């Protein structure tokens, strides 16, 4: 479904990705994990065509995203969807209108059918009762579920989740984990989940990429990864504070620095 | 010295780049097939927010500026026994200069800052990004209606400002200071030219509308998506737009009335 080959992306002088390749197969939940600040969200924006890579190709459903013309890109985006970390609901619209937004923009369906579609999507995320609330009246977990309903409003082929579990309480986390899995299976979508919540991701992903230091350091099914020989992968999966990724930010010698402070 | 020169160069490049990005934004927003049925409600809403909600401040300021003009003008004119020229004095100052300029300055403070903050916050909360990912172009959906609303509303607001100001001048000059009412109107009628004064004023205020609205939209769209960035962008909108209005006013005045 999505095939990334030899992707290089720089932001100013900083290299974010160096010659990285990844594949996301149709109908599967593929997870990208890695420490914070390595540009996982950037990767989703690259797939969505909001950023252009310095080199490499990103094939989505037969199109090379970076090479598309503007209107072709907009056509391709109709087949994909992204759930932002903040939810990014439109604050001046009710939950109902938020979910109806992509349908109203891209189709000419009569209002009665739009209403039916929206209620079905809201029912799927358990928020049919909250349709008339404004986004500011929702809790964080509810906002993310409402945004999820909006993301699936037009039944996209690909849905990208940006940190769907971050900052959620255990209950809403469980709800979202279940939703991602069940939506993926029921609607036959391809899902890409970017996250660093190891347990949740390992429980639903069919395939996992672990990204660090500008490249993929390990990939495989969750079971394969648990057996992975790389110490970096193991440190990440087990959440050890110190290891190949050091606990300390690069600094001068500690004792020496303390000694140099003169009273 | 060299440092100063370098700073000047950097500032110039920054300004030119900003102009370029603003033009690209405007082009993206306005280029393409219009979709009147779908965008109609969006336009109505923006006309309301940008235009109707700015009415109060325009009405009040117009009234007071007209009254002050009459009061100040009367003292000078009375010295020469030329009180009957109060009408043209008030009308010409308003139509040619104060109406367009003060409206533009008020508009930059009232509507321009709001536009910048709104769009900046939409950017910061990823609403613009998510719209783009839903294959809806934020330039056409967010920027275009606000641009047209600003461009069309401000000249109308300036005309309202002028009308209210002239009534304010009448209130002070005729009703309070005792200038002859018939003279106030007939002298105004004899001395105000439709093309030279009224139309030129409308042209001025259309130019200001374009400048202020584009600056406000561009600053919001280009804002650094943090709370600090948005506050900076809002301030910049008011400062840059006000200075630009004054600069353009000088140029336009020189062209229209200078020689």
3-class secondary structure per residue, A22-82: EEECCCCEEEEECCCCCCHHHHHHHHCCCCCCCEEEEEECCEEHHHCCHHHHHHHHCCEEE
Tell me which chain B residues have a C-beta less than 8 angstroms from the C-beta of A78. 135
Nearest to A88 among B129, B135, B137 (CB): B129
Residue B259, pLDDT above cutoff 70: no
- At residue A40, the pLDDT reads 81
Residue B37, pLDDT above cutoff 80: no
Tell me the C-alpha distance between B136 and A102, whole Å.
8
| Distance in Å, alpha carbon of A90 to nearest chain B alpha carbon | 6
Going by C-alpha positions, the residue among B211, B52, B213 that lies closest to residue B144 is B213
- Integer angstrom CA distances of residue A228 from A40, A136, A193, A218: 21, 44, 21, 8
Tell me which chain B residues have a C-beta less than 8 angstroms from the C-beta of A147. 130
Nearest to A78 among B127, B130, B135 (CB): B135
Chain B's closest residue to A48, CA to CA, is: B133
Q: What beta strand segments (E) does chain B contain?
A: none
- Residue-level pLDDT, tens digit, chain A, 263 residues: 888 888 888 888 888 888 888 888 888 899 998 877 777 888 888 998 888 888 888 998 888 888 888 888 888 898 899 998 888 899 989 999 999 999 988 888 999 999 999 999 999 888 899 889 999 998 888 888 899 999 989 889 999 998 888 877 888 888 888 888 888 888 888 999 998 888 888 888 899 998 887 888 888 888 888 888 788 788 888 877 777 767 777 777 888 888 888 76
How many interface pairs between A and B have CB atoms less than 8 angstroms apart? 48
CB contact under 8 A, A82 and B130: yes
Tell me the C-alpha distance between B21 and B222, whole Å.
8
Task: For residue B187, name the pLDDT band (cuts at 50, 70, 90).
Answer: very high
**CB of B226 within 8 Å of any CB in chain A?**
no
- At residue A237, the pLDDT reads 81
Going by C-alpha positions, the residue among B112, B91, B102, B116 that lies closest to residue B59 is B102
Tell me which chain B residues have a C-beta less than 8 angstroms from the C-beta of A102. 134-136
Q: Specify the range with the lowest mean pLDDT, choosing from A196-205, B145-154, B159-168, B176-185.
A: A196-205
| Distance in Å, alpha carbon of A81 to nearest chain B alpha carbon | 6
- Which residues touch B17 (CB under 8 Å, ≥6 apart)? none
Residue B101, pLDDT above cutoff 90: yes
- At residue B250, the pLDDT reads 95
- At residue B55, the pLDDT reads 94
Residue B94, pLDDT above cutoff 70: yes
Q: What is the mean pLDDT of chain B?
A: 92
- At residue A19, the pLDDT reads 87
CB A146 within 8 A of CB A179: no
Region at A188 (left for phi over 0; alpha for psi -120 to 50; beta for the rest): left
- At residue A263, the pLDDT reads 63
The half-sphere exposure of A93 on its side-chain side, counting CA atoms within 13 A, is 18
User: Is the ipTM here above 0.95?
Assistant: no
CB contact under 8 A, B130 and A84: yes
Going by C-alpha positions, the residue among A65, A43, A181, A179 that lies closest to residue A123 is A179
Mutation test of the interface with chain A: which of B32, B117, B130, choosing the one with the most A Cβ atoms within 10 A?
B130
Chain B's closest residue to A100, CA to CA, is: B134
Tell me the C-alpha distance between A35 and B205, whole Å.
54
């Amino acid at each position: 479904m999505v095939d990334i080959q030899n992707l290089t992306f720089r932001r100013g002088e900083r290299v974010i990705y160096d010659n990285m390749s990844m594949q996301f197969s149709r109908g599967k939940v593929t997870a990208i994990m890695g420490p914070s600040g390595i540009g996982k969200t950037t990767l989703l924006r690259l797939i969505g065509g909001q950023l252009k890579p310095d080199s490499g190709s990103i094939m989505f459903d037969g199109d090379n995203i970076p090479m598309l013309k503007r209107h072709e890109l907009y056509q391709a985006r109709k087949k994909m969807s992204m759930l932002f970390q903040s939810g990014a609901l439109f604050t001046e619209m009710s939950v109902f209108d938020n979910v109806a937004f992509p349908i109203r923009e891209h189709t000419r369906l009569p209002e009665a059918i739009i209403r039916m579609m929206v209620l079905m999507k809201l029912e799927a995320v358990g928020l049919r009762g909250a349709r008339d609330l404004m986004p500011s009246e929702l809790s964080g977990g509810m906002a993310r579920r409402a945004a999820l309903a909006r993301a699936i409003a037009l039944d996209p082929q690909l849905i990208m989740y940006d940190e769907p579990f971050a900052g959620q309480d255990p209950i809403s986390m469980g709800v979202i984990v279940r939703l991602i899995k069940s939506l993926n299976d029921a609607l036959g979508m391809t899902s890409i989940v970017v996250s660093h919540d190891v347990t949740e991701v390992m429980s639903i992903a069919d395939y996992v990429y672990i990204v660090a230091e500008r490249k993929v350091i390990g990939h495989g099914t969750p079971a394969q990864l648990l057996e992975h020989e790389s110490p970096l992968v193991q440190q990440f999966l087990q959440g050890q504070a110190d290891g190949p990724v050091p606990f300390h930010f690069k600094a001068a010698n500690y004792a020496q620095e303390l000694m140099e402070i003169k009273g | 010295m060299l440092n100063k020169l370098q700073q000047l160069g950097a500032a110039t490049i920054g300004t030119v780049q900003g102009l370029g990005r603003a033009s690209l934004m405007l082009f993206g927003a306005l280029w393409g097939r219009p979709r009147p049925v779908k965008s109609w409600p969006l336009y109505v809403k923006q006309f309301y927010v940008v235009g109707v909600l700015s009415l109060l401040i325009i009405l009040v300021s117009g009234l007071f500026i007209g009254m002050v003009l009459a009061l100040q003008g009367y003292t000078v004119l009375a010295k020469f026994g030329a009180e009957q020229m109060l009408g043209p004095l008030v009308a010409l100052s308003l139509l040619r200069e104060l109406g367009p300029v003060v409206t533009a300055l008020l508009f930059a403070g009232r509507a321009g800052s709001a536009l910048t903050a709104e769009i900046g916050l939409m950017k910061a909360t990823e609403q613009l990004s998510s719209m783009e990912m839903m294959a809806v172009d934020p330039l056409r959906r967010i920027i275009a209606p606000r641009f047209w609303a600003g461009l069309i509303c401000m000249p109308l607001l300036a005309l309202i400002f002028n009308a209210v100001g002239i009534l304010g001048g009448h209130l002070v000059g005729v009703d309070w200071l005792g200038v002859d009412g018939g003279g106030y109107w007939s002298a105004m009628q004899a001395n105000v030219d439709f093309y030279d004064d009224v139309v030129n004023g409308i042209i001025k205020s259309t130019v200001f509308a374009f400048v202020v609205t584009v600056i406000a939209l561009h600053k919001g769209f280009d804002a650094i998506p943090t709370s600090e960035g948005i506050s900076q962008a809002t301030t910049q909108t008011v400062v840059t737009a006000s200075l630009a209005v004054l600069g353009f006013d000088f140029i336009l005045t020189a062209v229209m009335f200078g020689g």
